[in-house]
Amino acid sequence: MPVLHLHLLSDSTGETLEMIAKAALAQFDEADIQRHFWPMVRSKQHLDRIVPDLAANPGLVLFTLVNDETRARLEEHCRILGLPAVPVLDAVTAALEDHLGQEAHGRPGRQHAMDEAYFARVEAIQYTIAHDDGVGHEDWEEADIVLAGVSRSSKTPTSIYLANRGYKVANIPLVVESPPPRELFKLRRPLVVGLTTAPERLVQVRRNRLLSIAEGRETSYADAERVAEEVRFARRMFADNDWPVIDVTRRSIEETAAAVIRLYSERAHRSTPPVVGPKPI
């Protein structure tokens, strides 16, 4: 399969563009992609310095450029070079303009403005890092979400992903010999979610973990019977406390986080009091 040169041009950090490209590429098996990433393209001069690479590595150009002159210049270069250029947000922006009845602001990096939401996300990340792996249980009540599960059930990466979405997350490993702190069972504000996985998959993950840290001695950490017992222990705890459970066996971190967010949103919706109209006279 020939190499596809994928050029990503953004007038901001390029985070949005990279996520869109990643999501689209996931639909294609064994695609040989070479990415060329160009963030903060905010002038015609900057763009002109990129053109030689476009010419040397012809392929597909995806861009998010809101400045009319810059994007027109890119489109003209791509036309001359015979390269397809796709403005990935245009269709969504046009639909929003149509439904909202207003014109979009052509302001580069607007979605990354240091507004209240930005600082809330920073606070969420700081909280989540400080409450990883069972630390800081005294103030778990401040969390939005608490993830519980046995070791290597994706608690930490899922927590960090959720924190980047603005959620304060604490997580705790469930260990048969060491009961969780009592605070876990008294939480009212946070949504507690149990993460579980197939024991055989967990054994493989743990064995790989031991190899990565050059741990060669015999240990029950990756023993099949021991792992199955841990998973049963965690599942009983989830059931006894009526916590929602997500099986992460075949889920990516993004898919697990999306499932957690859906549970969180559903609970928030249920807890919102209904709007009561005026009583009839």
Query: Angle CA(197)–CA(139)–CA(122) in degrees, nearest 5?
Result: 80
Structure tokens at 197: 């996985």
User: How far from the centroid of its chain's Cα atoms is residue 8's Cα?
Assistant: 20
Q: Is 73 exposed, middle or buried (0-12, 13-18, 19+ CB in 10 A)?
A: middle
155 is in an annotated binding site: yes
> Distance (Å, rounded) from C-alpha 24 to C-alpha 88?
11
* Main-chain phi, psi angles of 8, to 5 degrees: -110, 115
152 is in an annotated binding site: yes
Place of tokens 């609970």: 267
> Distance (Å, rounded) from C-alpha 259 to C-alpha 253?
10
149 is in an annotated binding site: yes
151 is in an annotated binding site: yes
Which residues make Cβ contacts (< 8 Å) with residue 28, sequence separation at least 6?
A: none
Which residues make Cβ contacts (< 8 Å) with residue 120, sequence separation at least 6?
A: 166
Other CB atoms within 10 Å distance of the CB of residue 134:
19
Structure tokens at 148: 């519980």
Other CB atoms within 10 Å distance of the CB of residue 39:
16
154 is in an annotated binding site: yes
Structure tokens at 11: 């007038």
Q: Are 42 and 11 in contact (CB under 8 A)?
A: yes
168 is in an annotated binding site: no
Other CB atoms within 10 Å distance of the CB of residue 37:
13
Q: Which residues belong to the annotated binding site for ADP?
A: 149-156
Q: Which residues belong to the annotated binding site?
A: 149-156
